[in-house]
Structure 1
Amino acid sequence: MSNIPFSGARLWASLMEMARIGATPKGGCNRQTLTPLDAEGRALLARWGREIGLSLTTDRLGNMALLRPGRDPSRKPVAIGSHLDTQPTGGKFDGVLGVLAGLEVMRALHESGTETEAPILLINWTNEEGARFSPPMMGSGAAMGAFTEQQVLDTTDPDGVRFGAALEAIGWKGEGDPAALRDLEAYFELHIEQGPILEREGLDLGVVTHALAQQWFDVVVTGEESHAGGAMSHRKDALVAASILVQALESIAHEAGGDGRATVGRIAVEPSSRNVVPSVARFSVDLRHGDEAALDGMAAALRERAVAVAAARGVSVEVKPFWAFPQTPFDPALAERLRQAARARSISFRDMPTGIGHDAVYVARQVPTVMIFSPCHGGISHNEAESITPQWAEAGLLVLADAVVATAGIVRA
């Protein structure tokens, strides 16, 4: 592909320009989904697409699809995708790298006048992060049949704002059917690793072979509120009981071994008064593992510990399933195409799983899919300090581009 001018410098400049939308004082981005800043980022991507002749369609959930036609209209599109939305204190690269690397592939093909056999499609998925509307990956999940459109549209944020209303308010609700995005020949996603392995091993990228299984829960501990000046011996403190369970989760992950991971990301108490013993504590649980039987064992261990804590502390504990998806393999043939592209350019790599949910995990349910990981400094992500190098971005771009073009096919004179 040496005659196609894929430009790491142009990709980097685009990343920095997009990062100005929602820029935070600490150098990150706050461009949460379905906010005016999200709309501004979408408009910039749409403008860049128009400048190179891409046709844009937007579906009823706001998923953006920018198409570059191929010579053979009977071929399904080869897609590249990720997301532009961020966490409230997010970085410049999570998701955005994949979208703008896809844009750079399109720009280079346009600049060189290269025609592909199959169309190439660039996708910006709505609400990958799940920071404002939960669960995450709603746009890709609904497109691939994991949620209904109505479920997504009726979801509300912590302030009670409905997803559908927020989408209409920013002007990005389209007319297209999200399910049309299942009709793809292949799907590629470039993403930062969000972990330390590639940097630690001095590698340029990772070929992602599969995604770990996940199970999420909401846990509600109910005790009895009482005055903070009352005796310790008679308390039914919901927060103390919850804290015992939170600490137990770390042990559950270690006991599961391998890829076992357990996280509590949210906790709230009622009545939330300084001098009242909490009567209710609610917290989220995120369990992950590369072995589904081991993951089921972690969930069972959580329930067992909940029963024991309830009995010991005189409280009730409810463990409610919230969301889950199974271990998901990515397409072996596409993974091998990435390996071949990396070897051809002398780019170092390793195979690896992802323990993190991505749009690609849902897309893989319907479409041959693969992911590429680029290193990030210290494995830091979902953080304003998130950082990569231009060289890492370029390595990911080149392998992505070569594999996408090889899949779509170049028209030969």
Structure 2
Amino acid sequence: MAFLLLTRFCYYICRLKKIIHIVGNRPQFIKLAVLYKAIAESGMARQFILHTGQHSSHEMSGIFFDQLALPAPDIRLQIDNTDPDLFIAAATRQIRDHLFANNYNAVLIYGDTNTTYAAAIAAARSGQTLHHIEAGVRNGDLRVPEELNRVIADRLSSYHYCCTQYNLDTLKSEGSGKAGSFFTGDLMLDAYLRLPEDAAFRPEFSSYIACTIHRAEHILIKEQLEAVIAALNNIHKQIPVVMPLHPHTQKKLSGLSVKAAFRIIAPLGYSRMKAFLQHAAFIITDSGGVSREAYFARKKALVIMERPVWPEILTTGAGLACPPDTRMIEDAFQQLQQLEPDFEKAVFGKGNAASAISRHILNAL
């Protein structure tokens, strides 16, 4: 009897479809957490996680797997992320080799990172079906690495899951919005609504600006980073600016002629970051993910990007965008304080993206 049950169990496991999630950085871990759980609850697929190591430190990686109750990655690549081009080349080759050796029914990629780009190329070369989560995002500037990553990922994917209706309309305008393209809402909103904030968090200031700076074009171009730091120093004189510092940005600050006069703290895990944003008076960021979390938290945000990737937020009156110029950042922050936002629009869906995406993926299988 035991042998018969074991045989049936093995037969059942072998018949399950195989899905691999390819991730490498903080926002991807957050999105993965809610979608992984939704697919697991269906009982219809075996899931595997490949972590490229794009974010490899415990503060930017391990803590998220721990706090989000994610299983440890099944495959963990050890790739030096110092040089983006070398990282992409090594990641593409190693992911391709893994996909050739292991046939999956669906390869899932997230967002617009170098991990996403490498995985898209690898999946195409290995002939496996690619699903792009957070598809259709554009800012129209191919000089920005993430824009190139988005375009390539969308062109190579068979299935597209869009955070907003605007993203889906963008795909349609490009000729990619076919039967496999859907407006599902945003997994980041699912996570924000379901995952608790750190109740023990106590802000250092009664009123402060939560700030994050990490984009490559800002931290790798010294003049741009100095312009941003100078603006933040001046704004800090009005309202305290508090910045959880990305490890890569921290290295760059030491070589600047303009020194940071605002408050710098260590990187935060998801639950503490959520509390950090919830308690802030305003948010200044160059992150697409944090700008969305600001909207979820009903906070007005200044996005330091000449061409923001989420213009939907700006159209609600919840944010402004500006380039990395000292005077323009300071002027935009003054204007930000006068905005009257509409946080009621369901721009990013209603918090059920995980179930919608899971359903579409499983139907495709």
TM-score in same-fold range (> 0.5): no
Higher strand share: 1
Q: Which has the higher contact order (CA 8 A, sep 6+)?
A: 1
Higher helix share: 2
Q: Over alpha carbons, which structure has the higher Rg?
A: 1
Normalization by structure 1: what TM-score?
A: 0.28
Normalization by structure 2: what TM-score?
A: 0.31
